[in-house]
Chain A
Amino acid sequence: MGNQQNGELFFPNRPFQGYGGVSLPHLKGTENLPSEIIPLPERVIISMQQHVGAPCEPVVAVGDHVDIGQLVGDSKAFISAPIHASVSGTVAAIGELMLPNGQKTKTVVIDADGKQTMWKGIKPPKIKNVKELSEAVRASGLVGLGGAGFPAHVKFSIPEGKHADTLIINGAECEPFLTADYREMIEDPGHVLRSIYFIKKILDIHRVIIGIESNKPEGIRVLSEIAYNDERDPLNEVRVLPLKASYPQGAEKVLINSCTGRRVPRGKLPIDVGCIVMNIATISFISKYLATGVPLINKRVTVDGTAIVNPKNVIAPIGTPIADIIDFCGGYKTDPRKLLMGGPMMGIAMFDETTPILKQNNGIVVFAREDVAETEPTDCIRCGRCAANCPMHLQPLLIEHYVRQGDVAALERHSLMTCIECGSCAYVCPAQRKLVQYMRMGKTLLRKAGEKKK
């Protein structure tokens, strides 16, 4: 656990040492390209599952006219986030969609009318306390935009008896290719910082650490300039911490460790170690929402990869089919072989291009056929690189062994559930074993075993 948990809070001068991590090629070719807004797509497909937690139920019917920002899906569950129309138009269908992860979900398909009229009910929220903040953030449909899609309001609903003393802003963006967060901090630093000051005040937090990988000197400079402005922040409680450019620096647990030296125990949340972690795009959106009341309807995604003609950062309405976005980026240079939603390390490979953009998407990476090595894994040579590079200090080689054996007890003993599926192990494995796949299989085994016990 953290070494200053009971002591006075302090700002580290350098990040705390963690476990493992790999150094990846950055490949951030789009980092200097300003974001472009996509032309209105003809049709958006709005999934009812765009977050971790309970899926939403559609609240509109086929044939209804919806305006931008109008609620189209909601759920009563706490861990869930409402979903809004991202274009104005007519509900063409309420169908079913298979998400890239194989899960099936309801969707609301909206045929855009091209007028882009705003919903009349949009108005900026008035927030005076944490509860209102949490409610407003829920109403905005905000989820963690870094990739996980954890409903953001849950982070502000601090349970009884727990206290957050540190707000960590995740600007690491450690995935290769992706620059959406970087563009956010370059293009909207004012919003990032305004949100921070606001949340800091509302939640009474006196330590805000903006963690940015050292490979983004411009981002560090821009945010530092504002963060170290004495007028806004006389006590200097908001600071930028340059982090080692090491994957997976942006993973929540890794980031908390790097910034505070605290380690989130298995199965616990950041709030259990007094931290709230928000992605830079998430925090920036909060400011925009408070100012305008327009819910989460657009998303900035990086479109890159060896098969894309014009890689760029695109701001697109949520639900825009990926095909439209790729079209906007000039289409394919060559035959695409792998289409990833997200970065190359944790992104999900997709089976077709009609899949819509989800809230938590931050990148589309397409690899050409010649860049996709389809190699068979060879035998494990016990080199231990997977273990050495595991940020969670696990033993992937042993876990794989036990997964193959179906040894649930051993998996439990080796803390499989701590695995964040960052892919570092598989990235370095000289035998090219599908370790992450085994980790996921093992987790499924454990879940099933847990259900049986009950």
Chain B
Amino acid sequence: MRPEDIKNNGRAGEGYGADGQMRSDYSERGSLPEYNDDSNEIIIGGSDDDADYDEYSRRLERRAAKPARRPKIEYEDDGRISRRERKRAFRKAREQEAAEAAAEAAEAAAAIAEEAADSGEIIIGASEAAGEEIERAENAAEAAVSQAADRASQQMQHIETISEEAAGVVHNAASHPTIERIEDSASAAAEDVIEIIEETAEDIKDAVSDKAGTVKEKAKEIREAIADKAEAVKEKAEDIREAIADKAEAVKEKAENIADAIVDPDDDFDYTDGSDILDDIVDTDDAADAVENAGRAAESVSRAERPRRAAPAKRIPDAARRVPSADVGEEISEQVAAIKEEISGKAAQFKETISETTVHAAAAGAAAAKAAGKRPSRVERIDHERDILDELLGDDTEYYSAPPEDNIQTSDDTAAAPETAEQPAAEASAETEDVPGEGAAAASVEDGPVEEEAVEAYTDEVPAEAYNEEEDSGVYADGEEDGETFADEDEDGEEYADEDEDSEAYDGEEEDGEAYTDEDEDGEAYTDEEEPAEETEEEYYGEDEYEEAGEPEIYDGSDEDEYDGSGLPLPVVKPRNLDAVRKRREASGEKSPAKVPRHDLLVSASPHIHCGETTRVLMGDVIIALIPALIASVLWFGWRALMITGVCVVTSVITEFICRRVMKRRQTVGDLSAVVTGMLLAFCLPPEINPVFAIIGSVVAIAVVKQMFGGIGMNFANPAATARIVMMLSFPAAMTTWSRPFYYYLDAISEATPLTKLAEGGGELPTYAELLVGYHSGCIGETCAVALLLGGAYLLLRGVISWEIPISFMGTVALFSLIVGQDPVYQLLSGGVILGAVFMATDYVTSPVNSKGRLIFGFGCGLFTMLIRLYGNMPEGVSFAILLMNILTPHIDRLTLPVPFGEEREAA
């Protein structure tokens, strides 16, 4: 989670409803078809191997058992008999004993209700005493940290008020008949409870006083003390609640079972597991059993006490670790706030449980009283029995059942089992009494699935061995599962909330449990209970909660367990109170998000990004690459070289501009191709040429060779090379008068080029070094091989040109020279081979497109250059060779078409 992000995006309040709804959807059955992460088998229903599948099923069961905390069903009395046997036994026993048992059970139920009431009273007394103890503890803490003490004492007051409310509720329940021995056992239980609470209070007192001492020394320890104290308070509230819940459970289950047993003695439906419940009731002497249960309830309270008391000690280090020591002060107040929240949550639970207990007791008593006379329809009963069986047998065919709300909605209004629990006690009992017998019976049946499960839960939770033998072990119910629960408790606050949920499940409220826990998250939610039942759901998505939970859920985990523990390996969009969103939007006058104002959006074909290299960038690179050669030419041939170059460039650009204007085409001066053409043309003119000739050449290059064919991209021949040929033919004398380097500051001295000397003989040939640096006569830009190669390297690195043409051009020249016995170095370094190979032959427009074609093109250029040089009547052949190959380019292109991907086609 990143709260800062939420702040930033300004939508902190919107839409991420507190968790719970989806979870209740999925985890209700508690058995999702997960498969084991650690296994290498694929076991998504596709395994052929039955053994594997069995193993998988077992694993599934094991895993399924955990999140739902569904206890295994064990019975104290009959051990492990097969279902069929049980069923048969039940059928025999049922007919004989049902009526008798029903009567007894009704009595027992009433008694148990009374017992609950009494023990409730006692417990409330105890809780008040506890409240005092805690207040004393509060005072001690106040001495240390006044802030913390204030808040905690508020909580204590809160618990007291709850206790008072509970007393009122118990008073209602007290109107039921009584059996003395149950009273005895209940009072014994209550005594235990009192003892326990006193012990707790003692512990709290000690702990608080100890911690108050340490608080004075270090702020860190202050925080620990607060955490500890709050923990103790919370435990106490929890324990009281549990004790009452357990008692209520006992009452409820008895009454339920009796009702069920009475309801339909003639039914031949397979009760297999349901029968066990009834067996349980029938076989037991109910009154004695009730006493026992009451005793157990009390004892379970004491069992619960011990491990829980140990828990806060473990949690303190965690709390300490969470808070950096620098911010101790702030953290303390935060901690206190958190404690306050927790305690208020617990108080809400406590209150709810008390009211619920009373309701159940009353409802169960009433139902039991009525049950003997009235029966629900058989169909209804079978449906509910089936539900129970599904639950118990862990039927894995329905992983996704409707959420509990749906069940409520579809069931009869008068029944509304889970909702009854949320209504005040008096209302509930009044309702059950007012409704004619049929309705009351239906109510008891609607309760059926929940309550019967509760029986199972209870008997498993407190097996005889568990609390006889494990007095000291701190194990409170089913050893394995609860060991885990307590371990979890130590980890952090969230886990603690989970643990609450678990205890709800033990109370038999498995279906209700979800809603219950959800409400705990919002400290204020318990007030909703006073609302009519239909509104509960809406309140659940209430504005407040919605505001508080407005934190986006971050989906981050491959581990399914991280999805709220629901086992659903898909991220789900949380429920959201859309009505509130719509209202708020209407209130603020915003438009629906689906009707946002339209932006001025551009629609175009993909791709929507570009590499950024445009024609202008490429031409600019070529210009940059030509600059070393230009500098060299100025060095060797003086400013005249620069002047000629400038004349060519300017003329080219102007010509291009005028041509485009005249042709009424898009202006292309900006792409710098005319500049490149002008420079290249200048580079292959002699330095001493008349600028007028240079102007003529430039105009020819641009207007005739380039623009007359359509401008850039359309010319079939290289403008610079072609213009040079035109000039050579037009002004042969001027084009073949070369000056010696470095003599420009005297009178220019003409000298034959090395090629001319080679071709015609005579004269002193320059050395290799002189050839490399360009210290020999020749055209403006072609003499300095080093500068040209430098420029070529730049172009290659920038990816402007590819290697094929220069390499094959120069390679062919060198190879041909070797073959015919010429000096390849001379052939390469003198004349225009390098300029032509690097800059002119690589002109995109007039050279082949593909790699293979470019190799052929370079080879042709080299070949024709050498043929002209050696066997033609001109000393230099580069421009002719390039022009010739330009003409051949379309044919080369066609012959070298690459084979498209996935095809084995001969180029044609």
Contact = CB atoms under 8 A, between A and B. Distances in A.
Interface of A: 1, 18-19, 22, 24, 34-43, 45, 87, 112-120, 122-128, 176, 187-191, 194, 197-198, 201-202, 229, 231-234, 253, 257, 263-266, 268, 287-288, 290-294, 298, 309-310, 315-317, 321, 323-324, 327-330, 332, 335-340, 344-354, 365, 367, 372-376, 378-384, 387-388, 391-395, 397, 414-415, 418, 421, 423, 426-432, 434, 436-437, 440
Contact of A124 (B16, B399, B557): B399
A277 B900 CA distance: 21
A432 B614 contact: yes
Please indicate which of the listed interface residues B48, B397, B573, B904 has the most CB atoms of chain A within 10 Å of its own CB.
B573
Given A379-B711, A423-B607, A114 B541 contact: yes
Given A40-B576, A323-B596, A375-B614, 18 more contacts: A1-B904, A18-B901, A35-B555, A114-B17, A116-B575, A127-B44, A190-B558, A191-B558, A253-B901, A265-B902, A298-B570, A328-B11, A346-B606, A380-B713, A382-B847, A418-B902, A418-B903, A428-B613
Which residue, of B578, B579, B713, B902, has the highest number of chain A Cβ atoms within 10 A? B902
B401 to A, nearest CB: 7
B733 interface: no
Q: Taking each of B592, B603, B617, which has the highest tally of chain A beta carbons within 10 Å of its own beta carbon?
A: B603
A349 B573 contact: no
Contacts of B851: 388
B816 interface: no
B601 A336 contact: yes
Contact of B611 (A187, A188, A427): A427
Contacts, number: 345
Interface of B: 5, 8-11, 14-17, 21-22, 25-26, 32-35, 37, 40, 42, 44-46, 48, 397-403, 405-406, 541, 552-560, 568-579, 581-582, 592-596, 598-611, 613-615, 617-618, 666, 668, 671, 673, 711-714, 802, 844-845, 847-851, 897-904
B46 to A, nearest CB: 5
A67 to B, nearest CB: 9
Given A291-B35, A291-B569, A348-B606, A117 B25 contact: yes
A176 B609 contact: yes
B697 to A, nearest CB: 22
A37 B14 CA distance: 13
Contacts of A120: 400-402
For the complex of A and B, list the 5 residue pairs with the smallest distance between their C-beta atoms, beginning with the closest.
A39-B15, A423-B607, A384-B849, A232-B40, A114-B578
B613 A381 contact: no
B576 A117 contact: no
Given A40-B576, A336-B601, A345 B593 contact: no
14 contacts: A18-B901, A39-B552, A114-B577, A123-B400, A194-B44, A198-B42, A310-B5, A310-B8, A337-B599, A338-B608, A345-B606, A349-B608, A427-B609, A432-B610
Most A CB within 10 A of own CB, among B541, B599, B713, B900: B900
Contact of A116 (B8, B22, B400, B556): B22
Given A187-B558, A266-B903, A351-B601, A288 B570 contact: yes
A431 B615 contact: yes
Contacts of A430: 613-615, 617-618
A35 B572 CA distance: 12
B768 to A, nearest CB: 35
Contact of B398 (A123, A197, A347): A123
B599 A114 contact: no
Most buried by B among A112, A188, A367, A414: A188
Nearest to A316: B573
Nearest to B607: A423
Contacts of B902: 253, 263-266, 268, 392, 418
Contacts of A346: 606-607
Contacts of B845: 381-382
Given A117-B403, A124-B33, A427 B610 contact: yes
A19 B901 contact: yes
A253 B844 CA distance: 30
Contacts of B33: 124, 291-292
A336 B592 contact: no
Contacts of A340: 608
B579 A384 contact: no
Contacts of B602: 337-338, 349, 372, 374
Contact of A38 (B573, B598, B610, B615): B573
Contact of B575 (A114, A126, A323, A365): A114
A88 to B, nearest CB: 9
A393 B900 contact: yes
Contacts of A201: 42, 46
Residue of A198, A288, A350 with highest tally of chain B CB at under 10 A: A198
A432 to B, nearest CB: 6
A286 to B, nearest CB: 9
Contacts of A423: 606-607
Contacts of A384: 844, 848-850
B406 A350 contact: no
B553 A37 contact: yes
Given A323-B596, A397-B849, A350 B603 contact: yes
Nearest to B592: A42
Contact of A39 (B5, B14, B45): B14
B806 to A, nearest CB: 15
A348 B473 CA distance: 67
Contacts of B608: 338, 340, 344-345, 347, 349, 365, 367, 372
A37 B844 contact: no
Contacts of A234: 40
A286 B333 CA distance: 48
A255 to B, nearest CB: 12
Contacts of B21: 115-116
Most chain B beta carbons < 10 A, residue from A42, A233, A265, A321: A42
Contact of A436 (B554, B555, B557, B606): B606
Contact of B554 (A36, A40, A231, A337): A36
A374 B405 CA distance: 56
B594 A354 contact: yes
Contact of B849 (A119, A232, A287, A382): A382
Contact of B899 (A38, A332, A393): A393
A317 B573 contact: yes
Nearest to B406: A117
A265 B903 CA distance: 6
B573 to A, nearest CB: 5
B571 A37 contact: yes
A325 to B, nearest CB: 10
A310 to B, nearest CB: 5
B844 A394 contact: no
Contact of A187 (B26, B555, B594, B850): B555
Contact of A125 (B45, B552, B568, B576): B45
B578 A327 contact: no
Contacts of B595: 354
Contacts of B552: 36-39
A395 B896 CA distance: 11
A298 B26 CA distance: 17
A187 B25 contact: no
Contact of A288 (B569, B603, B618): B569
A333 to B, nearest CB: 12
A436 B399 CA distance: 49
Given A37-B574, A378-B671, A327 B593 contact: yes
Nearest to A116: B575
A321 B555 contact: no
Contact of A387 (B573, B714, B850): B850
Contacts of B570: 288, 292, 294, 298
B574 A116 contact: yes
Given A37-B573, A323-B593, A381-B713, A188 B849 contact: no
Contacts of A329: 9
B855 to A, nearest CB: 13
